[in-house]
Chains A and B, each alone.
Chain A
Amino acid sequence: MSTTTVLAAEAATFPVLPALIVIPVVTAVIIGLLPASRADYSKLAALIGSSIAGILTVYVLWNFDAADGGLQFVSQQSWVGDLGLSWFLAVDGISLFLVVLTGLLFPVAIVTTEPHHDPKPYYLWLMLLMAGSFGAFLALDLLLFFLFFEIVLVPMYFLIGGWGHGNRVYAAMKFFLYTMAASALMLVGIVALVFLARDDTGGPTFNVVTLASQHRLSSTAALLVFASFALAFAVKVPVFPVHTWLPDAHTEAPTAGSVILAGVMLKLGTYGLIRFGLFLFPATVRDLAPVFLTLGVIGIVYGAAVATMQRDLKRLVAYSSVAHMGFVVLGIFAINSQGLTGSVVQMINHGISTGALFILVGWVYERRHTRQIEALGGLQSAAPVMAGVFTLVMLSSIGLPGLNGFVGEFLILLGTFSAAPWWAVVAATGVILAALYLLWAYQRSFHGPAEGDNATMEDLRLTELFGIAPLLILIVFLGVYPKPMIDRIEPTVDVLIEHVEDRVPDFAEDEPDRLRRAGTDGLIDAANEAHSETEEHGGTEDHGETETEAEDHGETDASSETEAGGTEAGEGE
């Protein structure tokens, strides 16, 4: 499992993951070097660069071994060896589709939108954003991850502040301060974790895989470190009540910024919660699950309720993101196969649907110079094709079965129901509200009599239709046949769950079964039991069995951990 063998294996083939980061950076440099008189070429350059990266992600997808739940395409280099820093990139079933989504959304966003001024710096920032996004999804060294996690803020800040609408400076600053303030604490947490775990891991290391399998932080220490991580991720997701930067940033950002923000950057939060939360601190996550489940449910219901009352179409979509991401949080903290798989699926589907929605709202704004719902109306008469596309995307966002949005939502609710039934029941009401706010907004914008400029709005151009077509095709395909996607996600989720079971001795396999007593009283009892148990380990007679089980696990712990570490780090071979 030494890094050298990994390297040997990797060096022989094309280093595709580093290339994903390098290509956009090189593109950015090329754009930067374009003479001012050739600024028009920056769009072409960005399109080519992002498309090459996109095609590479398809290459990764194509060559990804679906049966393998471990890390693939590993690229590892030691860096500052004494400090345990390393260049460590890899994909697994959890990050694979996020990487592909990134590779898809950037070219689509570039094709479908246009900056109003200064194309050169605009595309330059966009390319840096792409590089950073890839890096954040690929990095498995904590510090490297943090670096990329922070890098993405900068281009986004300038994109919102420079090419946004209305109150863009305020929105950009709010976005920056919120996310940066939260992640500053994370850096402290990372250092603390590496420092506290240095003896367990045999010297300091930032390697997430090693840390996850070997660190022995006390529950208090783990709680504190996790808290510093969780805050950074919660802001990014965003989780109630730290979500208020999102509507401002989304609304004022240029369309491409909104697409990337919703489609890619929010996922950094939920991805982080899985990779650097659940993976590193399974016991803590399990203990805190009720808190996050509750926040997730609040996000779903509250986000939808607030979305209903928005007057600005883009702001409405922004709040719908809060609701949709609430589902993702819910699935993660259900900590079971359906919930986690559903969460990853939902991340992808939300990126596709919400990305498409932002593109559509952007087109409406380009044509009508307003996003105020009351200023619109009857658009379907003048623009039937756009209305049809909008309807499809809307139904996907509502979670209509047969379209992509349903699959993730359903799996999440199913998984959550077996872990925490009442949370799932409340969350399921979000399904009603989603229909309410989107259909109502659609009715007020596209239905009804068309007057004034609404009656003469230009329908979709063919280029626009082609630009958004990939998203529409995926909306249908992933709804009808999500199997290829789930097949690649699930093995990794299973490995993760096994890891949690190994690390959390009383995370009994039969836990969901106890919760299965579905009677009304049974539901409450089960939920309460789940809580009290997480607080006090053992004590009541009920826990006799689990305790012995815990001991059994304890005996095999050491061996199983090294095994786990071995298999996971050695996947690249």
Chain B
Amino acid sequence: MIDLAWLIPAFPLAGFALLVLFGRRLGEPGAGWVATVASAASFATTVAVFADLVGMEGEERFRVQTLFTWIAAGSFEVDAGLLIDPLSITMALFITGVGTLIHLYSIGYMHGDPKFSKFFIYLNLFVASMLLLILGDNLALTFLGWEGVGACSYFLISFWFSDEANASAGKKAFVTNRIGDFGFMVATFVLFTSLGSINYDDILTRADELSTQTATIVVVLFMLAAAGKSAQLPLYVWLPDAMAGPTPVSALIHAATMVTSGVFLLTRLNPVLAEAELWSRGLIAWIGALTALFAATIAVAQTDIKKVLAYSTVSQLGYLFLAVGVGGFVPAIFHMVTHAFFKALLFLGSGSVIHGLHDEQDMRRMGGLRSLMPVTAFTFIIGWLAIAGVPPFSGFWSKDEILLFAWNADGIGGKGLWAVGLVTAMLTAFYMTRQVILTFFGRTRFFDPTAAEIDAAASGRVGEVEAEMLAVTEARMAAVAALEKAATDVVKRSDAVSKAKTVLVEATAAVGASTDGAEGHDKLVKAFDRAVKAVNKSEAAVVKAENAAAAAEVEVDQLTAQVTATEARLSDVTDEVGRAPRPAAHVTAVTEATDAGPLVEYLPESYHRRQDQHPHESPATMTLPLVVLAVLAAVAGGLNLPFTKDLHFLEHWLEPSLFGNEAKVAATAGTKWILGVVAVAVGAVAIVAAFGVYLRGRADPAQIERRVLADGWYVDESYAGFMGGPGRRLFEGLSWFDRTIVDGIVGGVARSVTVAGQSLRVLQPGFVRSYALGIGLGSVLVMAWFVGRLFQ
């Protein structure tokens, strides 16, 4: 079976090829199943190879299988070959195993995505690359896998590329990793010039031929490479951003497998590490320890469920670095395996939560999901117990091993490394407890209005009164206008009365002057009557106008009162809206509901829509992997139990890969027990504290979740500031230099083109053309002559 080891990477590669060709036709869920089966077949092969290997004696368990020569020039030759040994097979086991589970999970998670089949193309290619990375029998092939997983990571982070942030995150991951890759390449060159070979077989067996200085340089360069891939200081910045990818990707690539490859590489090269100066190993250990602590402090203040896990991953990878630096290769691999289980579990759990909550990632909007998503909650809690170092879950055993080796590493940092590791363990227990409480315990905050929704409601509510105010003001203005018109009318009518009265006086006088029966007397009497009527009529009109004016005045008064009232109401409402509670922007609101109060009916559509949504448990394709991983996360500590030598299964198994470079632990059994008890105690304190703060409200979370922590100590901003500032200006300066100085000065040729341009307008045909003609004719003649000779 061991001869069929090449099938391990071949299966996912075949799956990849199949999906590239037929993926779109297979569609959903067919493409997903093809990819899953390919990964599962790879896992089955790995298990078979593992079984073969277990049956062999020490030296036998280190085999090279050459498939074909890849690149060869001069004395340089690398093959496409596999190195089958306990280390590579251990890696392959959990990569294909966890990988298959995550493939299965993705079928449920990516349901309905228009690029469903494309996702699995990348996923299979990733698994194949990752397997080449660990199985390659030389540095070049490892580098192929190394860059291959980087490319897949890039594809998958920017999978939903329409969002600019995702695209940026993908590019950032690739470019940051390339900085590390630079170290990888140069280290490879140094090894080749020193040993004449970059095959592991030669490097590992002949590492003692390296001078201490050379070995140190190689180790530092590979450390740079590993710091990129395994997200250590100062190159960790890409990993938190990488969470922009779909959650299964975060679980597989950015937690369980790819990010461990830096640690794998350093472990693989343990004989070189052994040759290097102590300080270079100390550097690895300290970078790891400080990264672990640094990332843990940031994780404490994150509100995005995946960001917590991302910083937690950076922190846990720091532990692995620490372990490698102090010569604890077995603990490093041990913790790598347990971490792969529990961190994949936690990520997939968070994905299940996000899926169930319709893409909600903010933990301030979760809470109380325990009853709504029982399987997810239960498995997540097991993951939490594992990572928090609660015995007997797996993380406890592997983390304790690392702390023991750190305690043992007096030459590098006294007990400093151990102390940093212990503080980190405490922080880990704290932020993970915080996450579990915020997500699964306490009130269900999912239905609460968000700050934005309350703002929208507030402006809706105030807007309504404002509109009312506007209407009333306008009505009052119209009434005032009417009143004015009525007043004018009264004056006009009064004028008409006085005019009519004048006519009546004249008519009365005329009637009095004439005699009865005289000619025209009747006419005058009629005129008099008319005048009397006119006076009466106009007087009536005045009365009517006066009435109208009075009515208008009343209306104006009424409306004025109404305006005043509305004005008062507006200010009341504004006050009331201002007082309405908002969910805290920075600090987690835990116990109290955000009561929208009278604003409820004004909340926007999104709020009401959410009331109809039901946070739900995920489908079986998603929960099954959770359950399997939960079991593994619970029991994987059994791989390497500390009690007796016979229980150090992993240590015995890995022996052929470590060439006796594993550090010897001098501590007595008593010391070990004390260290273990201290670690458990510290973790317990942190867990209790987190319960106190986040479930019982014994302290204000704002005191813990400082702005500087939430913003990751501003490292990212500083990098971005440099790249966008001085870095960009330097490149722009070079570009300017090229356009003006170089192009302008070299031979003055460019200038002569423009200056001679005028004369060349005349010269051009006589110059280039005749040159062309000369060359052309000459060559035709020569050719003709030769062709003639040739075919004679």
Residues of A participating in the B interface, judged by any CB pair closer than 8 Å: 15, 18, 21-22, 25, 75, 77, 79, 87, 128, 144, 147-148, 150-151, 153-154, 157-158, 170, 173-174, 176-178, 180-181, 240-245, 302, 305-306, 308-310, 336-338, 341-342, 378, 380-381, 391, 395, 400-402, 406-407, 410-411, 413-415, 417-418, 421, 424-425, 428-429, 431-432, 435-436, 439-440, 443, 446-450, 480-483, 486, 490, 493-494, 512, 515-520, 522
**Residues of chain A within 8 A of B71, CB atoms compared:** 407, 410-411, 482-483, 486
In the complex, A536→B69 CA distance in Å?
Answer: 42
Closest residue to B744 on the A side, CB-wise? A244
Question: Does B72 lie at the interface of the complex (its beta carbon under 8 Å from any beta carbon of A)?
Answer: yes
Contact B775 A150 (CB under 8 A): yes
Contact B162 A448 (CB under 8 A): yes
Asked, given contacts A87-B786, A306-B735, whether A178 binds B164 with beta carbons under 8 Å apart, the answer is no
In the complex, A33→B75 CA distance in Å?
Answer: 55
**Residues of chain A within 8 A of B144, CB atoms compared:** 401-402, 406
In the complex, A302→B174 CA distance in Å?
Answer: 21
Contact A310 B735 (CB under 8 A): yes
A–B pairs, 9, beta carbons within 8 Å: A22-B787, A87-B790, A173-B764, A177-B753, A306-B734, A337-B75, A431-B178, A431-B181, A443-B170
Contact A432 B73 (CB under 8 A): no
Q: Which of B76, B193, B735, B791 contacts A518 (CB 8 A)?
A: B193
CB distance from B785 to the nearest CB of A (A): 8
In the complex, A393→B189 CA distance in Å?
Answer: 26
**Residues of chain B within 8 A of A440, CB atoms compared:** 171
Contact B189 A341 (CB under 8 A): no
Asked, given contacts A173-B753, A401-B147, whether A341 binds B74 with beta carbons under 8 Å apart, the answer is yes
CB distance from B252 to the nearest CB of A (A): 20
Kindly supply a per-residue 1/0 record for chain B positions 38-57, scoring 1 wherever the CB is within 8 Å of any chain A CB and 0 otherwise: 00000000000000000000
Contact A181 B747 (CB under 8 A): yes
8 Å CB contacts to A: which residues of B765-786? Answer: 768, 771-772, 775-776, 778-779, 782-783, 785-786
CB distance from B238 to the nearest CB of A (A): 12
Contact A447 B158 (CB under 8 A): yes
Question: Does B762 lie at the interface of the complex (its beta carbon under 8 Å from any beta carbon of A)?
Answer: no
Asked, given contacts A18-B786, A147-B782, A431-B182, whether A516 binds B753 with beta carbons under 8 Å apart, the answer is no
Closest residue to A15 on the B side, CB-wise? B790
**Residues of chain B within 8 A of A176, CB atoms compared:** 768
Residues of B participating in the A interface, judged by any CB pair closer than 8 Å: 68-76, 140, 143-144, 146-148, 151, 154-155, 158, 161-164, 166-168, 170-171, 174-175, 178-179, 181-182, 185-186, 188-190, 192-194, 211, 213-214, 217, 730-732, 734-735, 738, 742-743, 746-747, 749-750, 752-754, 760, 764, 768, 771-772, 775-776, 778-779, 782-783, 785-787, 789-791
Contact B193 A308 (CB under 8 A): no
Contact B768 A157 (CB under 8 A): yes
**Residues of chain A within 8 A of B164, CB atoms compared:** 447-449
In the complex, A153→B210 CA distance in Å?
Answer: 52
In the complex, A181→B746 CA distance in Å?
Answer: 12
In the complex, A425→B786 CA distance in Å?
Answer: 49
Contact B786 A302 (CB under 8 A): no
CB distance from B764 to the nearest CB of A (A): 8
Contact A147 B778 (CB under 8 A): yes
Contact A446 B74 (CB under 8 A): no
Contact A520 B213 (CB under 8 A): yes
**Residues of chain A within 8 A of B185, CB atoms compared:** 410, 413, 428, 431
**Residues of chain A within 8 A of B174, CB atoms compared:** 435, 439
**Residues of chain A within 8 A of B787, CB atoms compared:** 18, 22
**Residues of chain A within 8 A of B754, CB atoms compared:** 170
Contact A435 B178 (CB under 8 A): yes
CB distance from A105 to the nearest CB of B (A): 22
Q: Which of A302, A428, A490 contacts B186 (CB 8 A)?
A: A428
Closest residue to B166 on the A side, CB-wise? A447
Starting from the known contacts A147-B775, A381-B162, 17 additional A-B residue pairs (CB-CB under 8 Å) come to A22-B783, A173-B760, A173-B764, A241-B742, A243-B742, A302-B734, A309-B732, A415-B73, A418-B192, A428-B185, A435-B174, A447-B161, A448-B164, A490-B73, A494-B74, A517-B211, A518-B193
Contact A448 B69 (CB under 8 A): no
Q: Which of B73, B161, B171 contacts A486 (CB 8 A)?
A: B73
**Residues of chain B within 8 A of A87, CB atoms compared:** 786, 789-790
CB distance from A573 to the nearest CB of B (A): 18
List of 7 A-B pairs having minimum Cβ-Cβ separation, nearest first = A337-B74, A447-B167, A417-B189, A401-B144, A519-B213, A309-B735, A244-B743
**Residues of chain A within 8 A of B148, CB atoms compared:** 400-402
Asked, given contacts A147-B779, A411-B76, A435-B175, whether A481 binds B161 with beta carbons under 8 Å apart, the answer is no
**Residues of chain A within 8 A of B730, CB atoms compared:** 305
CB distance from B701 to the nearest CB of A (A): 36
**Residues of chain B within 8 A of A391, CB atoms compared:** 155
Contact B192 A432 (CB under 8 A): no
CB distance from B247 to the nearest CB of A (A): 20
Asked, given contacts A418-B193, A432-B179, whether A154 binds B776 with beta carbons under 8 Å apart, the answer is yes
Contact B746 A432 (CB under 8 A): no
CB distance from B219 to the nearest CB of A (A): 12
**Residues of chain B within 8 A of A429, CB atoms compared:** 182
Contact A413 B189 (CB under 8 A): yes
Contact B182 A174 (CB under 8 A): no
In the complex, A243→B178 CA distance in Å?
Answer: 27
Contact A244 B167 (CB under 8 A): no
CB distance from A325 to the nearest CB of B (A): 15
In the complex, A305→B727 CA distance in Å?
Answer: 10
In the complex, A329→B775 CA distance in Å?
Answer: 29
Q: Which of B73, B211, B217 contacts A338 (CB 8 A)?
A: B73
**Residues of chain B within 8 A of A400, CB atoms compared:** 147-148, 151
In the complex, A572→B546 CA distance in Å?
Answer: 128
CB distance from B67 to the nearest CB of A (A): 11
In the complex, A490→B181 CA distance in Å?
Answer: 28
Q: Which of A148, A174, A431, A486 contacts B749 (CB 8 A)?
A: A174
Contact A483 B70 (CB under 8 A): yes
**Residues of chain A within 8 A of B182, CB atoms compared:** 428-429, 431-432
In the complex, A459→B118 CA distance in Å?
Answer: 17
Q: Which of B167, B772, B791 contacts A443 (CB 8 A)?
A: B167
Contact B749 A411 (CB under 8 A): no
**Residues of chain B within 8 A of A177, CB atoms compared:** 749, 752-753
**Residues of chain B within 8 A of A425, CB atoms compared:** 186
Contact B750 A79 (CB under 8 A): no
In the complex, A305→B734 CA distance in Å?
Answer: 7
Of the listed residues A153, A174, A242, A435, the one surrounded by the most CB atoms of chain B closer than 10 A to its CB is A435
CB distance from B442 to the nearest CB of A (A): 37
Contact B178 A520 (CB under 8 A): no
Closest residue to A391 on the B side, CB-wise? B155
Closest residue to A446 on the B side, CB-wise? B161
**Residues of chain A within 8 A of B190, CB atoms compared:** 417, 518
**Residues of chain A within 8 A of B188, CB atoms compared:** 414
Asked, given contacts A309-B731, A309-B732, whether A174 binds B753 with beta carbons under 8 Å apart, the answer is yes
In the complex, A522→B213 CA distance in Å?
Answer: 10
**Residues of chain A within 8 A of B166, CB atoms compared:** 447
Contact A154 B775 (CB under 8 A): yes
**Residues of chain B within 8 A of A406, CB atoms compared:** 144, 147
CB distance from B731 to the nearest CB of A (A): 5
Q: Which of B147, B162, B735, B771 contacts A180 (CB 8 A)?
A: B771
Contact B179 A308 (CB under 8 A): no
In the complex, A528→B500 CA distance in Å?
Answer: 126
Of the listed residues B742, B778, B789, B790, the one surrounded by the most CB atoms of chain A closer than 10 A to its CB is B790
